[in-house]
Amino acid sequence: MLNRDQRIDILRIFAAFWIILFHWWATVWGYPSVFPDTLSQFLYHASQLPLGLFYTISVLGDNAVPLFIIISAYCLTKKGIAGWSWLPKRLKKIIIPYWIALIGTIPLLILGWHFNPSLMQQADVKPLNFTTIVSAALLIQNNSPETFLAPVQAWWFIPILVQLYLLYPLLRLLQKTLKIVGFLFTTALLQCLWNALTIVELQHTQALPLGLRYSGPSYLLLYAIGMVLAQQQRLPSWSAGMILWIGGIIMRFSTIRLIFFSETLIGTGLLLVGFPLVTTLINRTPYLAKKLATLGERYSYPIFLWHQPLIYLLLLALLPLVSKPLITILPFVVVGIWAAANSKKIPFERSQEPRRVHG
């Protein structure tokens, strides 16, 4: 059994926190604020003081989703997983906590709608009903505009992850059969075919954006790249990753977020940038790195599942008492304090070997 990769767990907790920042900003300032229409609009808001930096980091928080996706493919392949026997255990690990979160979230959302319906409307939370709950439980909420992003917006990622798990054994067979270029070309072709069929089937309907961006096959190439990177002895440089990431962001804005290859560039770029950054963190602050890795291993998925309804409850208490700018920087302050408290160096341990006597 391979030792657990500390870098992966640290990237997971970073990604989870990044998603929290995205939804925190969206809830405080409204969802239109996290979806600027153009790149120039994004750059304008990013340049505004004093919140421009916080805006930039928060609004880019949904970049963590393609990062999660490529990490999933990387880990499965790194462990040498193939075939179908692993699927029941993995699906149980994903779906059971998800169903528990769904049941536990319902009363939290009811409280939110009861005490501050204006906050829930500003956060673009859809009212609870039987159809949305059942659709979420069956993982089909992404199939219809009426159930999409209900009851919790962040959960659109779960059906996509499950679909990719189901496709992974087939991708693994392709990977073993073809060379790297042929494998990547084939998965890109399959992804294009899926999106072409989606456009033909859903054109002139409101479901078209859902079929293009919120379905598992739209991330086939990203998943395939994660599988390929897992088998490489040497990864491309962080500078190449930065170029891919920035290129993906620009592509998003220029295509109204509907071009599926933008997510491929973003996820790949972030993994290539993230590995050397996390390696530096591990080397310089091993104690903090160990704490972060533990959080990533144990809590990144529960944090992802529960963070949004808990944000609503927390803001119900804070918004009447604290100004929006101060509330905006609160997560940064909390994480900064935690990191400072856990950045202490590992104390030097004297050797327990008996002292040598010369003579």
Angle, in degrees to the nearest 10, between helices 157-177 and 87-115: 160
**What residue ranges in 7-91 does DSSP mark as E strands?**
none
**What residue ranges in the chain does DSSP mark as E strands?**
none
Q: Which amino acid is at 1?
A: M
> Model-level pTM?
0.91
Contacts of 82-89 with CB under 8 Å at 24 or more apart are 82/169, 82/172, 82/173, 82/176, 83/169, 83/172, 84/169, 87/165, 87/166, 87/169
pLDDT tens, the chain, 359 aa long: 457 899 999 999 999 999 999 999 999 998 888 888 788 888 898 998 888 999 999 999 999 999 999 999 999 999 999 999 999 999 999 999 999 999 999 999 999 999 989 989 888 898 899 999 999 999 999 988 899 999 999 999 999 999 999 999 999 999 999 999 999 999 999 999 998 888 888 887 777 777 788 899 999 999 999 999 999 999 999 999 999 999 999 888 776 555 568 899 999 999 999 999 999 999 999 999 999 999 999 999 999 999 999 999 999 889 889 999 999 999 999 999 998 888 765 444 343 333 333 33
**pLDDT value, residue 1:** 44
* Closest-CA residue to 166 (of 213, 219, 232): 219
In angstroms, the CA 77 to CA 171 distance is 10
**pLDDT value, residue 93:** 96
Give the three-class secondary structure for 320: coil
CB of 166 within 8 A of CB of 215? no
In angstroms, the CA 241 to CA 211 distance is 28
